Each structure stands twice: as structure tokens, then as C-alpha cells.
Structure 1
Amino acid sequence: MSEHIRTQLDGGVLTVVFDRADKKNAITQAMYTALADATEKAKADDAVRVILFRSEGDSFSAGNDIADFISLGQTPGDLVEMGVFRFLKALADLDKPAVAAVRGRAVGIGLTLLLHCDMVVVAEDALLSVPFVNLALAPEAASSLLLGANIGHQRAFELFALGEAIDGRTALAWGLANRAVPADQVEAT
């Protein structure tokens, strides 16, 4: 388990909190393992009716921790058993509603996670981006398929090809979010 992922089950809601605010909630392999464990638990536990992803600090997630991500390629063993792949598979296999409460930046996997959620509430001033082109990386977790399905080919192409951010109001207008509210109302909503 990672000290940067906290979980709490209350009233059927398993809240999963990104708690690495000093690094803008950039996700490490240890965090992915904790996210995989939490998501697998949500599916298997009848007491869990919904899973809620939220964050501490001023960013939902800055995406992958790049230094940690680079070390992944130098790690021996079966990549499929690594935390990142376990989490993405668990998320794709989840048969319960997933909700995200987004404040601040949602970058890369931070936005990709939203594509796997059933309900997304964003701050009006949140900034969402998939800057894979800027990093010379390929999009992950079927995001190139899911983003186009959610917002249309042209808008998805714009996000992927330019790597520019859109705000929460635009995310709502384009269909990436169910609601856009002031930042101080995201969690309550």
C-alpha cells in the first residue's frame, strides 16, 4: 500500500484519495498498486456500492511521476502484474459506478481516469489535458478510443495533437464532465 493513496468506506461509498499534494498528485508505481488494490476491493466487496476518486491539494493529478515511470522500463518481471496495469485492468473491469471529483489539473492518466468514470464533477477552473504528444508518448488505457467516443473525433484530435488544456466549463460543454461547479463546491456536489 502507498501512503499517498488513502481509502475510506462510508455508507457504501469507497472514497479513494490521491494524497501527494506536494508533487501535484503525480502517480508512482506504489500508488498504482494501491489504486489497483482499492479498485479490486470495490468490485469484490458487496458493501461498496460506488467508488469515488478525489484528491488533496490543488491538483487532481499531474499524471505519471515521470522519474518513476522511466524506472518502470528497467524493472524486471512481468509488466502485466505491475500496479499500473493492474489498476487499468481493474478500472476497465469495474462493474460498479465510478465517480470523480476534480479540482485543479487533471493531466494524462488524470484525464484518462475520467473517461472510465460514470460521473465526473469538475471545478469550473479545472484544467484537463492529455499532453502525450509533448512527451513523445502514446495515450494509455484506451484513451484515444474513449475520448473520441465521448467528445467526438475532432475535439479529441485537438486535445491529443496539440496537448493543450481545456477548463472545466469546456469539459462540461464537450461532454467530459456531468457538472462544472465552483472549486469549493466540487466535493459537496
Structure 2
Amino acid sequence: MTEHVRRETSGGVLTLTLNRPEKKNALTRAMYQALGDGIDEAGFDPNVRCVLIQAEGDMFTAGNDLGDFAAVNAGDSAANEARREGNPLLAALARAKTPIVAAVNGRAVGVGVTMLLHCDLVYVSEDALLTTPFVNLALVPEAASSLTLPARIGHARAFSMFVLGEAVDAKKAVDWGIANAAVPADQLRARARAAADAVAARPPAAVGITKALMRDAVRIAERMEEEGRHFAAQLKSPEAAEAFAAFREKRAPDFGKVA
């Protein structure tokens, strides 16, 4: 485990808390591993009937640390090796057997949004803002979100989030079916915990079967693998090099000059 993901089990609920607020909870390799391990282990622990994911600070997560992406694009061998090993959080989400509840405070970016599509209940603070700016960075969707997001909100809305980078506020997230409810920030954790407790109080076998019947785990895993191939190729592309340079230099990217 890492100090950037706190772990606590009580009342049948495993709580995983993102704890890197000084970096807006941007996810490192160690954090992905800790989250993935927690979700995987919950599936084999009879004392855990629900997983709750939440975050410290004023932001759920800024998504993947862009420095890691830039390092891959620049040919850093260690960064490339880590990418080849795959993302342990995404793999765990694909095979998750235990219900997952999310409490989303403030902004969620990239994987901070796509992971919600694998959660069974999602609560957002009233100031929440969800963005999936993959194409802005010359990348493609991940976490099987090219499958799950259009299924959830429709093609046109999903395309606007992926390609135009449209931000989705708390009300829209609820109206579109990404989240169950928007609540005041100071009530968010209590509301999400109450939902997790309610899930944990239900008959676990019936809950687990219901979750399994509601999702196609094989198709999700296959789509993750397909996305991963495209993501890896784009990460090393001239388009991505221009996107990362523009971000670093605080300017608009010029993809027209990319060969």
C-alpha cells in the first residue's frame, strides 16, 4: 500500500481514500496498485461486502499524472515498462465482484470519471465537475469508457465529453445518469457511507449475483485491452508530443503542424 491511499474496513465496508491532496490526488503507479489491490482483495474477503472510494482535499482526482505520460512520449525506459505492465486499477474494475460506491468531491478528470462508470452507486458534491479530456491530449478513452459511457449517456453526449472536452456539472451528471445524487459537500461522505452501509446490509450472494448479471465483464475486459493498444500508440505519437509541449508551455496546441 501507499500513504497516498488510506485503507479502512468497518461494518462490512472497505473505504479507500485518495490522500494526495497537495497534488490534487493525481494518480501515481503506486496509487493505482493500491486501489486495484483493495478492490481485488475485497472480492475474496467475506468481511467486506462493499467498497467505498472517496478523496481528501477539494478535488476527487486530477487523473493520471501528466508527467508520467510525457515521460513515455519522451522514451523514458522506466515509464515505458510501467505502461507495458498495464493499469492494475482498470484490471481490478473489470473483474470487480464487490459493489463499489464513489463519493466525488469537486473535480474529477480523466480516469477519475471513467472509473465511476464501474461503480454501482455514485454520489457527487454540488460543486462537482467531471471532464474526460483524452482527445485534448491526443489520447483515446480508457477503462472501457468508449463502451460504457455511450451506453450510459448516449453517443452524442459521450462524444462531446471525449472529443470536445465538455465539462459535466453535478446536476447534469445526475440528469444523465452518471451519478445517483448531488449533495452539499459537507454531507457527501455521510451520504455515500450510508449507501455503502445499506449495500453491505443486503444478502451478499444475491447482491453479488445481481452485480454480475448487470455487466458483461468479458466484453469490458476486451474493450479495455483494445483501448489500451490505441492508448499506447497515441501516447508515443507526434500528436501527443505536441499536446504535452503545449501543456508544459501553457499555450494552445497546434495539431495542424504535426506530420
Classify the TM-score, shorter chain.
over 0.9
Asked if the contact 1:125–1:169 (Cα under 8 Å) also holds between the matched residues in 2, the reply is no
- Alignment-derived partner of residue 65 in structure 2: 65
Cα offset, 1:169, TM superposition: 0.7
- Alignment-derived partner of residue 153 in structure 1: 155
Question: CA, structure 1 residues 78+136, in 2 after alignment: closer, same or farther (shift >3 Å)?
Answer: closer
Counterpart of 1:168 (choices 145, 167, 170) is: 170
* Partner Cα distance (1:78, 1:3) in 2: 20
Question: CA, structure 1 residues 70+36, in 2 after alignment: closer, same or farther (shift >3 Å)?
Answer: farther
- Alignment-derived partner of residue 140 in structure 2: 138
Deviations 1:86-108 (A, max 9, x none): 22111111111100000111100
> Which amino acid in 2 is paired with 1:15?
T
Identify the range of structure 1 (22-31 vs 71-80) with the bigger mean alpha-carbon deviation.
71-80
Identify the range of structure 1 (36-45 vs 110-119) with the bigger mean alpha-carbon deviation.
36-45
Cα offset, 1:69, TM superposition: 3.5
Cα offset, 1:116, TM superposition: 0.4
- Alignment-derived partner of residue 14 in structure 1: 14
| Structure 1: gaps (5+ residues) | none
Identify the range of structure 1 (16-25 vs 177-186) with the bigger mean alpha-carbon deviation.
177-186
- Alignment-derived partner of residue 122 in structure 1: 124
* Partner Cα distance (2:157, 2:60) in 1: 22
* Partner Cα distance (1:44, 1:70) in 2: 36
Does the alignment pair 1:36 with 2:43?
Answer: no
* Partner Cα distance (2:82, 2:23) in 1: 28
The equivalences for 1:69-108 within 5 A come to 69-71=69-71, 74-75=77-78, 77=81, 79=83, 81-82=85-86, 85-108=87-110
| Structure 2: gaps (5+ residues) | 192-259
> Which amino acid in 1 is paired with 2:115?
L
Equivalent position SS for 1:60: strand
Task: Give the structure with the larger helix fraction.
Answer: 2
Equivalent position SS for 1:184: helix
Equivalent position SS for 2:8: strand
Off by >2 Å, runs of 4+ in structure 1:
68-82
> Which amino acid in 1 is paired with 2:8?
Q
> Which amino acid in 1 is paired with 2:120?
D
Equivalent position SS for 1:177: coil
Asked if the contact 1:29–1:69 (Cα under 8 Å) also holds between the matched residues in 2, the reply is no
Task: Give the structure with the larger strand fraction.
Answer: 1
- What is the TM-score when the length of structure 2 is the normalising length? 0.69
* Partner Cα distance (2:60, 2:10) in 1: 21
Cα offset, 1:78, TM superposition: 7.4
Deviations 1:36-82 (A, max 9, x none): 21111111111110000000000000000111344456326575645
The two structures, once aligned, show a CA RMSD in angstroms of 1.5
Q: How many residues align?
A: 187
Larger of the two Rg values belongs to structure: 2
